[in-house]
Chains A and B, each alone.
Chain A
């Protein structure tokens, strides 16, 4: 889906060949900033690849990849303030990494361990959300709390294009508008809800058009353009801090990977479309930009690549060495205090365990 026939214009700085189609925004005059942005993309990509490999070798469970969509999450994570609150969906490791969630925590989560959502940083952020679109409703509640606190912070919530077909999406967007809540909605329109293309999800001209019905300001951004994404999210957050109203971003991207490691996209995705989309993906595009405008060469690239790979490798080691949960820990956080009947069940479980050991 493009902005064709819609009133909404697609924001872009870099075309798919990495050429500037408009002057860089002034906050990006500094080369180190531009490279730092590249580093966020690279570490996400390398982590993503490592996670898929870990799943293939049985060390992780089913994992939702973000290949080709890294620019969206990296931009969100870089633009947010620490005290803002992030309410993610499940394909959001890029933002999580930028928010300071440890790579080994992300691995723990996808490795089937709840402790992966007990972030050592970002104590107020939500864990990854699996039931589609439910997170939008949490975000307006968080935004309400932030508004009460009056420290000009923003709740940032994400979802996929498929999630915009759900009632919770409309309910939350509508309330955010009606109650004027400081909430940024970012939709990763990666064109696919598992196997169903976005054209089958909606007759709306763009996903961003859906925000207009709720009276929420919206823009569409090239989600594979890291500069447009970062600039757009910064603009949106500034706007929200200024007028306290919600804002909506549709980030147009493409899922150049399976839905998850349990999926086989060759069953429904045309090879031609995938190849075409791969030409426009953010890492290749951004690297071209850096080499054309900022003398980025292959040596620079492989050095940065190594640095990022080291971080990922270290995280994998930490993950592998994480001690298992204490026996029966899964009983302990159902309530603040374990109710008597549940305490009995826990004891029975532990006794059973001891008998069989």
Chain B
């Protein structure tokens, strides 16, 4: 039940992004031998990446042509600078003429040069600022000492030091004044390390793309990795209720957006696009190129594109509630989504590279009940749809989950070795996994929430790793269990670490691309849209959860987005009497900082 990682974070698309990054870096520095070899091999087989490399080189030449247009400084620049230096020297006075100080000069912030304070006074102000910041602005976090840049030039270059955010812009949907939906992009370059609103101005949004009056179930809305298509389930009292659509994102220049069959990676194998099959009248305007990929169902959880944009996966149950959810797969270029399970008890979790991770609920066998044709034969069906035996004696149902990987191309299934693993989410490098370990409970057999168990972080075994000779399973906090077994297993291994305590009914987890930061949203009540969002920092060497808590549990809506060095979420309305706003926590090493955007209505983060 999570959005996919960005395509560039996964095996296929991630390798293209790495190639882009290395092609860019190669223009200014010598790559490591490993990087150079990898890039060379990748470029041999990737025409598009070769073109990108050539384009980078061409743009570079263009940029360097600016050297032919020198910008001459004013002739009196030295005279002005020398006078300013003289003034500065005069302010320092003769006492500073040769001040062999043991400590470096206090850092000067701001642009004014006359605001000098004695060291003691400056320290007092600094302490006061820290106290005020801690007391009144708990959301703005600075952990540990400010990081020295990895390439330390000096210890006190002047000026405020906002934390640079290298991640891609945030893609979001909001409601316009007329009630229609708008897609917009928020590019955040940096966040303030301290509670200084003047450090970084609120980020602006790019021009909004009107999406029209889509009756979309917000939790199902997702966007393709290339930003060209939106997927959503229709909702409301319309003829389109219970239908899942793929629609092109309208472009400004033209409405000639190709139909969804143009999803990247499928151009060479694109069959004819079926016409949208909607014989019933619909009260809402049908966007050009809209494709209905499923009908008569409702999405359970979230819809997610594969990182390469070739597939969409989701779980969906019949809209009449007659059965539980199955796993659906839509291949770009085909007409409709296909149910790839039939147990009515399978829930999509996430993509791991280009494999689907899903979980299945297994209930104890229900006794035969007269007049209930679904009571046997299909495990979980009758129970999941609420017609089973679980609530006959007034006790809640309890189900044990199992999880598996599914290759969307071959439908080959790999069961996870460990039982009671629910909705596992694995980091892009397949080192760590976050999951619910335990059972699920339901009062009605339809809606399931987390039961007895814990949220855990563990090492992930791909099933192919060879244990290192002599490796000890007790040296780190997460020793690999595969060391103890001859047959490599797939799934969580070793001693897992708990991801908090307390009641949890629902959760959503996502790792950053490096697999060192885990964003974890939890809710205590399934009916409550507001939960708490934490950022868990993982030591990449040991896999241990560090003691850092840059975001110990802020109120947040369920959708969030995590990328290279930032986490973005939407604060719920009503916090401090305000509307929702987009909030971003950025980090660089051990330094963290936060920024808020202007309040907006019905914000939904797509990526």
Q: A and B from one assembly?
A: no
Q: CB within 8 Å of B: which residues of A?
A: none
